[in-house]
Amino acid sequence: MDGVAILEGEVRELIRRRGVDPVRDRAGVHQLVQAVMADYDERSLLGAVPRLPDAAAAHKAVLDAVAGLGPLQRYLDDDEVEEIWINNPSQVFVARRGEPELTTTILTEEQVHDLVERMLKVSGRRLDLSSPFVDASLPGGERLHAVIPDVTRRHWSVNIRKYVVRATSLDDVVGLGSLTPQAAAFLRAAVRAGLNVLVSGATQAGKTTMLNALAGAIPPRERVITCEEVFELRPAVRDWVAMQCRQPNLEGTGEIPLRRLVKEALRMRPDRILVGEVREAEALDLLIALNAGVPAMCTIHASSAREALVKLCTLPLLAGENITDRFVLPTVASAVDLVVHLELDRHGRRRTREVVAVPGRVEAGVVETADVFTTRDGVLVRADGFPPHVERFARAGVDVVALLRKG
């Protein structure tokens, strides 16, 4: 047995005896590892145990194994890694700057199961035959999604999506090359003016990052309520309440869906509501909130800005047979003001593809739109459209005509 394995065994035994929680008390485990290593060094001088060739590496390996995610911890600590996923124990992938790569890490079935159970320990969520899917937030802000057989063919499927904070404001998005300064200035003014913004794009296009950046433009005195499936949004305001969904318990009761959160948010004196992602019938409750005059921003999966509007017109129909497009179409047209569509190009770069305004009209069953910014020859440029509610910009002290003037 090598020195690292001996150290790990001794640290685990000490944790068991002292009742330390390695997940919640990482600092306490760090101190235990230091104490055990000091004792180990004395014994190694007497030849009782093998010497450690690299004490720092051994310390990190033991700490990662006991209080971290073992072989996966180095990818969590790597700022370049955005996502980790396991197809089977011998296939561990990571994404660096949007580019996937197969790692050299090889696990066992038992290691995969142990890692997932360790990650779920503090989330209060479960994974078993009655609930073969799980979506949970980890203590470090990462998002875990796992699926087990017999939904998967044989092995557990695990995804760990890191929230890499590269942009907390629209200026940061400009610095990353995802947005032009003029478009950023316009979006900043639109948020200050209280326009309702829909952020659309494919998976991994940067929708949550953009929504956080837009939230950075919210006036600091506003009260913000966020509603999400799992915690991801982090608006930079002082008056902020975050809420996430809850899975049903073992008896099948106690579930809190996103629809309930949106309804409850309206009772919490919000100045602004942020919805992490609209996927199903909660779109109806969001439209009702917008119709009540509460400014909001949210994300939605779509292939273009116009497709995002079509989807938002369709999802509320899932709420019940009494909901018809005669209500939904004009409500979407009057409630949504801007759609910001993002894309992930073939090089893994995230870019703003277009910014579309919704004037508030419906013609022949189609919500009318106007391009404010569009992409030409790979560059986001000013188009001919103008946003609605110019008077709101004026109240916020913004001359939107001058702001959008070409050249």
154-190 pLDDT tens trace? 999 999 998 766 678 999 999 989 999 999 999 999 9
CATH of domain 73-161: 3.30.450.90
Say how far apart CA 336 and CA 81 lie, in whole Å: 34
What does the radius of gyration of the chain's CA atoms come to, in whole angstroms? 25
pLDDT tens per residue, range 99-134: 899 999 999 999 999 999 988 887 778 888 888 999
Q: What pTM did the predictor assign?
A: 0.82
- Is 141's pLDDT higher than 80? no
Query: Range(s) for CATH 3.30.450.90 in the chain?
Result: 73-161
378 Cβ neighbours under 8 A, 6+ residues apart = none
**Helix 207-215 and helix 181-192: axis angle, to 10°?**
60
Q: Is 13 helix (H, G, I), strand (E, B) or coil?
A: helix
Q: Which long-range contacts (CB under 8 A, 24 or more apart) does 9-15 make?
A: 10/36, 10/40, 11/36, 11/62, 11/66, 12/66, 15/66
CA atoms within 13 A on the CB side of 45: 5
Of the two residues 354 and 37, the one the predictor is more confident about is 354
**Phi-psi map region of 87: left, alpha, beta (phi>0 left; psi -120 to 50 alpha):** alpha
| 22-27: average pLDDT | 77
Q: What is the mean pLDDT of residues 133-154?
A: 89
Q: Using alpha carbons, list the distances in angstroms from residue 206 to 199, 351, 360.
A: 9, 8, 27
For domain 170-403, give the fold.
Answer: Rossmann fold (3.40.50)
Q: For residue 233, is pLDDT > 70?
A: yes
State the Cα–Cα distance between residues 159 and 132, nearest whole angstrom.
14
More reliable by pLDDT, 60 or 406:
60
Alpha carbons 144 and 156: distance in angstroms, whole number? 13
